[in-house]
Amino acid sequence: MIYRHILSGARIAISILAAVTILMIVDPAVAAGIEIAVGAPDTVSVGQEVEVKAVLSQNGVPVEGAEVALTYQASLAGESARVEIATGTTDETGIAVMIYEQRADANGEMQVVYLGPDADPVEPYVLTIAVESAGPQLYEFEAGVKIPFVNGTLVILVISGVWFLIGLSAVYLVRVGWDGRGTSEASTPEDGSMWISTLLSTVAVITAIGMVIVFIRSPVSNTHIKDPHQYDRTPIAYVGVGFSYVGFGLNDESSAQTGDPIADGSVLYFKYGCAACHGLSGRGAVVGAPLVDEIGSFGGFSEDTREGPKGMSEYDEATISEENLQKIYAYLKDEG
């Protein structure tokens, strides 16, 4: 009996030793999976750039090269699914930085999920980031119909007049039906005019009531298709100080250094964008006046180019040198 107990205890000890050995040999991911910790702000505002940090570790060791994503629940056209709004890859310290711009006025439940490279399932980290109220958006879409440039009172009067005529017609049809009921001719089964009049009057009354109901409910009848979220639109910009446009310089002027001023001037004429306003050969276009016929002396041409008359952009010597301006002048004189 004692021998049997000793044998049974030995078997149990061997089994425990084998299990421990297997756990030490197999991949640590089986013994202890990847853990995710997240650092994120508690509250953000609409339009803010939000930074979320995810820290991945396995058995206390940072996980490098792992891909993670920040998701939230979104709904569209009756379908709901999780949407990725930012992704990141962990560095040697196991930290992945994910940055997104807060657009909606509510996030709901957010998750940091593990994407790989390992295929083993990892429990996602659930978090919630509150959004401060940012007030109404710049553009609000309200249910109902808006008719611009028409006086609201006039529209109400026209609609009221139409309803009055419909109601008056319904009353007259009802009266015709009841008057026909009192005559022997209209009440004969073969004629049937009394029932036709009653049917028409009933349809007219129901139609009028239905139109009234639709009109009363119009401000709220389509609210289910309105997006309840508010978005931070691009702020309106105002010009505080005006500066003269100085044009743009050439990155490479080697193509305009052939030694022929006319050929070089034709290149510079297009490079500096003169053709955009004054036409391909300086004979004028929709915006700019013709140059070949009114170019005059070089002094006047240079003065007009520097000062920019009649809304033309100003080109100083830092943009177009005097030498290049003479080449453009030579090209235009040759075209004339």
Quick check: helix, strand or coil at residue 332?
helix
**Residue for token pair 């310089």:** 249
* Dist CA 30 CA 8 (whole Å): 30
- Second-level CATH architecture of 254-335: Orthogonal Bundle (1.10)
* Dist CA 270 CA 194 (whole Å): 86
* pLDDT number for residue 25: 44
Residue type for 165, please? L
| pTM (2 d.p.) | 0.34
CA distances from 201 to 174, 175, 208, 272 (A): 5, 9, 11, 78
* pLDDT number for residue 29: 35
* pLDDT number for residue 154: 61
Residue 228: closest CA among 35, 75, 43, 114: 75
Greatest distance between any 2 Cα atoms in the chain? 128
Tokens in use for 18?
């084998």
CA distances from 309 to 23, 286, 304 (A): 86, 16, 6
- The alpha carbons of the chain give a radius of gyration, in whole angstroms, of 41
Considering the domain 32-132 in this protein, what is its CATH number? 2.60.40.1930
Residue spans of the chain under pLDDT 70: 1-32, 76-78, 134-155, 177, 179-200, 210, 213-253
* pLDDT number for residue 186: 45
* pLDDT number for residue 117: 82
* pLDDT number for residue 139: 44
* Dist CA 184 CA 191 (whole Å): 10
- Count of alpha carbons within 13 angstroms of residue 331, beta-carbon side: 24
Provide φ and ψ at 132, rounded to 5°: -70, 150
